[in-house]
Structure 1
Amino acid sequence: MVPQGSAPHLIAAAISSKLGRPVPLHEIGLADTDPAPEVGLAFPRKVAHAVESATELYRLDSSPGKGIWQSLAGSFAVSAYATPVSRWLIRPADATVTREAERPPASGREVPPREGGWGRVGHSDVSKLQEAAEEARRWDSKYGGGDWRSSMVPECLRTDAAPLLLGSYSDEVGRSLFRATAELTRLAGWMAFDTGQQEAAQRYYIQALRLAKAAADVPLGGYVLASMSLQATYRGFAEEGVDLAQAALERNRSLATARTMSFFHLVEARALAKANDAPGCGSALSAAEGWLERSRPGDGDPSWLSFYAYDRLAADAAECYSDLKLPGQVRRFTERALQEPTEEFVRSHGLRLVVAAVAELESGNLDAAVAVGARAVEVAARISSARTTDYVRDLLHRLAPYGNEPLVKELQEQARPLLAAPA
């Protein structure tokens, strides 16, 4: 009996994890099953094939959590990052991306240029994608990756970016097009990650890295690797998270701005803390702080790094020390992280509150932990973020031994609707 549905792909993912490398379906004799779940995992060497790979992913059901993504739940394999990362490290930029698309035959159906993918792409087309990416970043930070405004990003990739990638463009315009599309694709991955759709996030990240290579934008490629690192670390693959962050750092030496290098070191610190490497984490945090102090307003930082300042460094440092079981350090850094305004970065504020509550609990301050936890639940209820909900769930799990305390019972009741909401 031949396994059907998502079973072949889950089998391949399990074997991939054991072997430490991607295992295609044909290698285990299941090549005749539905090929769709393998879409987005390729990292082609040629630009034309990279365009095909990305647009094929965009054409899937544009709502992570539905359609094909639902059948892929649980198929995340960190080993799938091995080939994309090694190919990017070897050659992080394509020589040229000039493209002349073939027009459809004159006798065929009249196809609008954008639908057929043969129109001439200009800077104004690229600007629209850049504006979409900027707006999506704001919505994601404020309302979470599951908010309906954020979930429009996959649709934008399918209806706007894909036809442009299939069009005609010069090398200059093409580089800008690939850069804008890479940013949007990484955002789609980040939003999928935030909503718990790890399999969708992984595919978007791989394609974003390939598009960044076509854009010849090494810092952007490093940013995608940093996103991969955070995902791997969150999923329990701390060692791989360290490798991904260090790959971003290594390729960007003498290329990225000081602020960018600071962020990459911070991501490295997160992975090292999860791997229980306290000395390594301390060195990475020190490097992150040093690079941030070195940064200046006129450095030309990329727009996608606009969220990063000392409060973010403090927040992530607090999470590092939380993983290392040092509540005193956690409290020190969360105090600094929570000083900043929260209007733009609501999700981050919620995550910081949970980390602060855990630190209070580990310091023996139950009343303070519950009070801060109540504020965290209030914030989490206002956004759509599975990751934030997971943080709240972890806090309640830590509070379980104190379940008979009236304040803890009250917090559990307050969080019940949040935890009962569908993912």
Structure 2
Amino acid sequence: MAARPLVARQPNERLQTLIQEAACSNAGLARRVNMVGAERGLDLRYDKTSVARWLRGQQPRGRAPGIIAEAIGRKLGRTVTIDEIGMANGKNLASGVGLSYAPTVAGAIEQVCELWRSDVGRRDLLTGSAVAASALVEPSRDWLISGKDPQVERAAGARVGMADVAAVKAMTTALTDLDHRFGSGHVRPVLVHYLNSVVSGLLSGAYREQVGRELFAAVARLTELGGYMAVDTGQPGLAQRYYIQALRLAQAAGDRAYGGYVLAASMSHLAAQLGNPREIAQLARAAQEGARGQVTPRAQAMFHAAEARGHALLGDA
């Protein structure tokens, strides 16, 4: 039997173009990638030879493509997607992005920014994704047993202040109004591009503790709105990813009440649309337990109503 011919890798021309645009050497890019990795708690040891291999078409594994995109984006002063650097792997993006509930604040920032980048850069891969049944309830358990993140303050990056937080809140209000007037199909692309091009930079910036908590709270609400719009445009699998990340951002904000809302209203509603009554009840119950003593009587009643709906659909007495 004749030997199968080797398939030559294609040079990564997209990455080459961006490196030239950034006026960055291979060694310089490697250093920047290692620095971004260190911020994420990773001990990366790339060098100029590693970059040369990427340019020849080698695909780094794991979280490396997102970190490379982040490093180049910082040098260029704009958001760069994995697709732009020629390292988008359709199967990986469609399967796991946005479904993890990160254990750390740094991981949460990375997760949600990767979701936004993927949504903008590879929309076709995410819009057709199905709901991951196992991820309907698992994030609620992580949220339920997790305490408040001890610190969200960041020292590296551009300074972020309360004016930036106010801008995110104002944008959320404006986009909500536009959604009510014209529908999610018209508005959602604007929301996603704003998250990817502006909000990702804010989360990666430098902020004091109080500003950081307020920022995470505002971004949680805007991310939840992105999930709502995904449901409205017939993309439940994408909505699930946005809801999971909104829940994690609410934890970083220290806002248990809003986390409960995401579970009992947003994720529970998604479970109802998918015909999963047991998950409706479980999500609502988690909201009650996790936000106990931190919500208004009206919100608590809404949580109980959601649980009752799940039991009714199950046929429980």
Q: Report the TM-score, using the length of structure 1 for normalisation.
A: 0.51
Match of 1:196 in 2: 234
Q: Cα deviation per residue 1:304-341 (whole Å; 9 max; x = unaligned)? A: xxxxxxxxxxxxxxxxxxxxxxxxxxxxxxxxxxxxxx
Select 1:240's aligned residue among 276, 279, 300.
279
Q: Cα deviation per residue 1:351-384 (whole Å; 9 max; x = unaligned)? A: xxxxxxxxxxxxxxxxxxxxxxxxxxxxxxxxxx
CA contact (8 A) 1:219 1:252 kept: yes
Match of 1:36 in 2: 93
2:120 is the alignment partner of 1:62: yes
SS at match of 2:211: helix
Q: CA RMSD in A?
A: 2.1
Match of 1:419 in 2: none
Select 1:184's aligned residue among 200, 216, 222.
222
**Bigger shift: 159-168 or 85-94?**
85-94
Q: How many Å separate the matches in 2 of 1:90 and 1:260?
A: 21
CA contact (8 A) 1:99 1:169 kept: yes
| Gap change, CA 1:266 and 1:179, over 3 Å in 2 | same
Instruction: Measure how far apart 1:180 and its partner are.
Output: 0.5
Select 2:269's aligned residue among 230, 242, 249.
230
Gaps of at least 5 residues in structure 2 are: 1-61, 63-88
Match of 1:53 in 2: 111
Match of 1:136 in 2: 175
Instruction: Measure how far apart 1:150 and its partner are.
Output: 4.2
Instruction: Measure how far apart 1:49 and its partner are.
Output: 1.0
Give the letter aligned to residue 90 of structure 1: I
Select 1:205's aligned residue among 237, 243, 268.
243
Match of 1:13 in 2: none
Q: How many Å separate the matches in 1 of 2:97 and 2:224?
A: 16
Instruction: Measure how far apart 1:61 and its partner are.
Output: 3.2
CA contact (8 A) 1:139 1:150 kept: no
SS at match of 2:118: coil
Q: How many Å separate the matches in 1 of 2:241 and 2:212?
A: 22
The one of the two structures with greater contact order (alpha-carbon pairs below 8 A, sep at least 6) is: 2
Counting aligned pairs with the same residue, the percent is 41
Instruction: Measure how far apart 1:135 and its partner are.
Output: 2.0
CA contact (8 A) 1:249 1:265 kept: yes
2:204 is the alignment partner of 1:149: no
Give the letter aligned to residue 102 of structure 2: P
Q: How many Å separate the matches in 1 of 2:243 and 2:138?
A: 13
CA contact (8 A) 1:78 1:232 kept: no
Q: How many Å separate the matches in 1 of 2:101 and 2:287?
A: 17
CA contact (8 A) 1:98 1:174 kept: yes
- Structure 1 segments, 4+ long, off by >6 Å, are none
Match of 2:76 in 1: none
Select 1:126's aligned residue among 159, 165, 169.
165
Select 1:78's aligned residue among 97, 121, 133.
133
SS at match of 2:154: coil
Instruction: Measure how far apart 1:122 and its partner are.
Output: 0.1
- Structure 1 segment 278-289 matched on structure 2, within 5 A: 279=317
Instruction: Measure how far apart 1:188 and its partner are.
Output: 0.3
Q: How many Å separate the matches in 2 of 1:143 and 1:272?
A: 35
Q: How many Å separate the matches in 2 of 1:185 and 1:78?
A: 21
Instruction: Measure how far apart 1:258 and its partner are.
Output: 1.5
Give the letter aligned to residue 191 of structure 2: V
Instruction: Measure how far apart 1:270 and its partner are.
Output: 2.8
Q: How many Å separate the matches in 2 of 1:33 and 1:237?
A: 28
CA contact (8 A) 1:63 1:151 kept: no
Q: Report the TM-score, using the length of structure 2 for normalisation.
A: 0.67
Instruction: Measure how far apart 1:145 and its partner are.
Output: 2.6
Give the letter aligned to residue 224 of structure 2: R
Gaps of at least 5 residues in structure 1 are: 1-25, 27-31, 102-117, 280-423
CA contact (8 A) 2:137 2:279 kept: no
CA contact (8 A) 2:288 2:304 kept: yes
Match of 1:87 in 2: 142
Q: Cα deviation per residue 1:74-119 (whole Å; 9 max; x = unaligned)? A: x212211333211110014211101122xxxxxxxxxxxxxxxx21
Q: Cα deviation per residue 1:192-222 (whole Å; 9 max; x = unaligned)? A: 0122101110110111011000000001101
- Structure 1 segment 14-413 matched on structure 2, within 5 A: 34-37=91-94, 38-62=96-120, 66-72=123-129, 75-101=130-156, 118-146=157-185, 148-226=186-264, 227-277=266-316, 279=317
